[in-house]
Amino acid sequence: MKAGAGARRPPSPLTVRTIPLSQAATASSPIPTGAARRTGNLGDTVFEWACRGSGVFVLLLLGAIIIELFVAGLPAFRAFGLAFVTSTDWDPVQEVFGAGVSIYGTIVTAVLSIILAVPLAFGVAFYLTELAPAWLRRPVGTAIELLAAVPSIIYGMWGFFVIAPAFATHLQPWIIDNVGELPLIGFLFQGAPFGTGIFTAAFILAIMILPFIAATMRDVFEQVPPVYKESAYGLGATTWEVMRGVVIPYTRVSVVGGIMLGLGRALGETMAVTFVIGNANRISSSLFGPGNTIASLVALEFGESETGSLKLASLLALGFILFVLSFIVLATSRYLLRSRLKG
């Protein structure tokens, strides 16, 4: 049969025409040359350049964002030098600005939210890939993914009107009474139970990034070749042992990539954090104390800044710093997830 099909191949001119084009579709080969090029018409040229031009546009867009933020923030970098990054002053009256507090708040809330979200996300991913009955997988998976679709402002309102009061009256007094007295870690949980603050912000962030991390973990867990898992099961391993001994070692790098993706999201989250973090420009030792993040500071103070003022430049400089932070995290995440992207 196969030989017969081979014999009925089209005559050579057509073959010549097909090969370069199919290469163009599958491999890195540039525009088809020779015969194919001659038979191509104006439409091909226009269409290809429209596609290529859009690609260049996206590239330039990111470049423009970086350059624009840097140039606009330049007056602040000039006025305060490197101290801008470390200084904890933010005094609009005396025109002294420093990014220290908001950088601290950004990193602490993001890292704390990762600590809270990763175990939950792992549990969800494990449940969805190994434990859930088949009929339940899709609805539960969709519901978790819908958590990612809820707009950030809704998390902010929910956090402010539901979570913060609940924390202030129930969770935080209990933690302050029971954990606040402990040596070494107690100081993290002292102070008044405001409800809002760094901890609440991290809590809301954790819920927001949970679906991103869980979805990545689920996708990479599903890519483990069944043969590996089956051989472990065949040796008598329990589900958890298969997870720990086969699935996690196999997907470790991608799992870290998924966590970094969540971290990148958490760094730049604005509206939800603005609602619940308490917005105070100080570093408090307690996690229940108020603080701010780069994004919340920019969102709050931007409206009160005059065009061309040093304050506006400082806010844009903060934006530049945030961009650099998230760029590093997101680029790392993408690097770690590259095998998955290729697959």
Partner 1 sequence: MSLSLTAGAIPGPRKDPEVALALGRRRKRADRIVRILCVGATLVGLAFLASILLTLTYRGFEAMSLRVFTHVTAPPGSEGGLLNPIVGSLIQAALGTAIGTPIGMLVGTYLAEYARGSKFGNAVRFVSDILLSAPSILIGLFVYQILVLPFGGFSGWAGIAALAIIVIPVVVRTTEDMLTLIPNTLREAVIGLGSPKWKMIVFVCWKSAMSGIITGILLAVARVAGETAPLLFTSLGNNAWSVDLTKPMSSLPVTIYSFAGSPFEDWIALAWAGALLITLGVLSLNILARTVLRGRK
Q: Which positions from 187 through 246 interact with partner 1, judged by CB under 8 A?
A: 207, 210-211, 214, 232, 235-241, 243-246
Within residues 58-87, the interface with partner 1 by CB under 8 A covers 58-59, 61-62, 64-65, 68-69, 72
Joined together, the tokens standing for residue 245 give 């001994």
Q: Is 177 exposed, middle or buried (0-12, 13-18, 19+ CB in 10 A)?
A: exposed
In this complex, which beta carbon is closest to partner 1, that of residue 254 or of residue 286?
254
Closest approach, Cβ 244 to partner 1, in A, equals: 6
In this complex, which beta carbon is closest to partner 1, that of residue 191 or of residue 259?
259
Using the contact rule CB under 8 A, the part of the chain among 81-89, 92-100, 191-199, 318-326 near partner 1 is: 318-326
In this complex, which beta carbon is closest to partner 1, that of residue 282 or of residue 334?
334
Single out the residue of 103, 124, 255, 313 in contact with partner 1 (rule: CB under 8 A).
Answer: 124
Rounded Cα distance, 318 and 324, in Å: 10
Single out the residue of 85, 96, 111, 120 in contact with partner 1 (rule: CB under 8 A).
Answer: 120
Rounded Cα distance, 272 and 201, in Å: 8
Joined together, the tokens standing for residue 242 give 């298969």
Single out the residue of 52, 83, 169, 174 in contact with partner 1 (rule: CB under 8 A).
Answer: 52
Closest approach, Cβ 32 to partner 1, in A, equals: 8
CA nearest 160: which of 274, 62, 316?
274
Single out the residue of 16, 33, 34, 55 in contact with partner 1 (rule: CB under 8 A).
Answer: 55
Cβ contact 235:189 at 8 Å:
no
Per-position b or e across 30-41, b if 16+ CB within 10 A of its CB: eebeeebeeeee
Within residues 258-317, the interface with partner 1 by CB under 8 A covers 261, 264-265, 267-271, 275, 295, 298-299, 302-303, 307, 315-316
Single out the residue of 18, 33, 169, 339 in contact with partner 1 (rule: CB under 8 A).
Answer: 18
Within residues 245-264, the interface with partner 1 by CB under 8 A covers 245-246, 248-249, 252, 261, 264
Closest approach, Cβ 3 to partner 1, in A, equals: 20
Single out the residue of 79, 186, 330, 332 in contact with partner 1 (rule: CB under 8 A).
Answer: 330
In this complex, which beta carbon is closest to partner 1, that of residue 175 or of residue 312?
312
Within residues 151-180, the interface with partner 1 by CB under 8 A covers 151-158, 160-162
User: Phi/psi at 278 (nearest 5 deg)?
Assistant: 95, -20
Rounded Cα distance, 277 and 102, in Å: 11
Residue 96 sits in the site that holds partner 1 (CB under 8 A): no
# of chain residues touching partner 1 (CB under 8 A): 112
Largest CA distance in the chain: 87
CA angle 97, 103, 104 (to 5 degrees): 115
In this complex, which beta carbon is closest to partner 1, that of residue 22 or of residue 169?
22
| 25 CB-side CA count, 13 A | 4
Single out the residue of 85, 107, 147, 171 in contact with partner 1 (rule: CB under 8 A).
Answer: 147
Rounded Cα distance, 309 and 95, in Å: 9
| 134 CB-side CA count, 13 A | 0
Closest approach, Cβ 238 to partner 1, in A, equals: 4
Per-position b or e across 56-90, b if 16+ CB within 10 A of its CB: eeeeeeeeeeeeebbebbebbbebbeeebeebeeb
Closest approach, Cβ 198 to partner 1, in A, equals: 19
Within residues 23-42, the interface with partner 1 by CB under 8 A covers 24-28, 30, 32, 39-41
